[in-house]
Structure 1
Amino acid sequence: MSRQVHVFRSPDRFLAGTIGQPGEREFFLQVVDGRRVLSVSCEKQQVAVLADRLGSLITEVAKRFGATADSAAPSGTDPLLTTPVDAEFRVGTMGLAWDGEGSQVIVELLALSEEDVGEEIVLEDREDGPDALRVFLSLGEAQHFADQAQRVVEAGRPPCPLCANPLDAEGHICPRLNGYHRGASG
């Protein structure tokens, strides 16, 4: 089976979203362009890292090139995933780049692979690489995605005030209390 590289040059939406209740959520990244919708599944930590790294990239681009994010970011509530959500693949490696000529951020998400994916595979269209999703965003769109993705990550279970591990509705076993069960109410 040959490699598939899904390219979205100017999507209508690029967002992070979840399905399920806090503590049991599945995380997805989804890109929508007209009727074309593509979703990939990922880990919560990957969403957090992508949001953080995008923020760093945007800051660096502003510092080095003087480019600024446009304020055309959508307002109001965060968009929801377009359903049904059918993941094309599970994300393994992620890559970010700045296209100075097009003044765009490039986000590349590569499918989880048993083989090590080297730097030379990311943003290349080689036949021997894993399937990929490549999304081109303006600085404003990238900033909006980073902000929205961070809110999705933070919308989970509240942290324990002692150990910062997530609290379930029925509490958790807190390592700071030598394993005694700590209820959600304190």
Structure 2
Amino acid sequence: MSRQIHVFRSPERFLAGTIGQPGEREFFLQVVDGRRVLSVSCEKQQVAVLADRLGSLITEVARRFGAQAEPELTATTDLTLSTPVDAEFRVGTMGLAWDGEGAQVIVELLALTEEEVGEDIVLEDREDGPDALRVFLSLAAARDFAKHAELVVAAGRPPCPLCSNPLDPEGHICPRLNGYHRGAVG
């Protein structure tokens, strides 16, 4: 099967979301443009890293090029996953770039693969590379994605006040208490 590269230029929505209860959540990145909806599954840490790196990229673009994001989106913007959520692929490698000519942030998500992905495969869109999702965003859309993604990541289980590991509703075995079972903090 040949490689598929899904390209979205200025989509209506690009967001991170979850399905499931804290502690058992599945993380997704989803892009919506009209009736076209594409979702990819990923790890919680990947969402956190993507949000952090987008924030750094936006800061660097502002410093180097003076480009600024427009005002924040209004509260009417829908930040929930469109259902049904059917992942096209699982994210392995992520990349970010700044397109100075188009004044857009480019987010590239590559499918998880067992083979090493060389830079030439990605940059030249060669047929032997992994499937990819490429999203072009304005600075404001990138900033709004990053802020929402941080909220999604933080909405999980609360941390233990002693060890910072996530607390399950029934508590957890805290390493700071030498393995004694610690009840849920209320």
TM over 0.5: yes
Shift of 1:123: 4.3
The match for 1:61 is 61
* Aligned pairs for 1:160-175 within 5 A: 160-175=160-175
- Whether the 8 Å CA contact 1:78–1:148 is kept in 2: the answer is no
The gaps in structure 1 that reach 5 residues or longer are: none
Deviations 1:126-161 (A, max 9, x none): 111100000000000000000000000000000000
**Any idea what SS the aligned residue of 2:121 has?**
coil
Whichever residue aligns with residue 134 of structure 1, its letter is R
Q: How does 1:1-186 map to 2 (within 5 A)?
A: 1-76=1-76, 79-185=79-185
Q: AA paired with 1:168? A: D
> Scaled by the length of structure 2, what TM-score is found?
0.96
Helix, strand or coil: the match of 2:91?
strand
What is the aligned residue count?
Answer: 186
In 2, the alpha carbon distance for the partners of 1:109 and 1:82 equals 19
184 and 76 in structure 1: CA distance in 2 versus 1, 3 angstrom threshold: farther
1:120 positional shift: 3.1
Provide the alpha-carbon RMSD of the alignment: 1.3
Contact 1:95 1:122 in 2 (8 A): no
SS of match in other structure, 2:17: strand
The percent identity for this pair of structures is: 84
Aligned counterparts of 1:163 and 1:175: Cα–Cα separation in 2: 7
Secondary structure in 1 matching 2:144? helix
Separation in structure 2 between the aligned mates of residue 149 and residue 123 of structure 1, nearest angstrom: 27
Q: Contact (CA 8 Å) 1:54, 1:143: kept in 2 or not? A: yes
TM-score (norm: length of structure 1)? 0.96
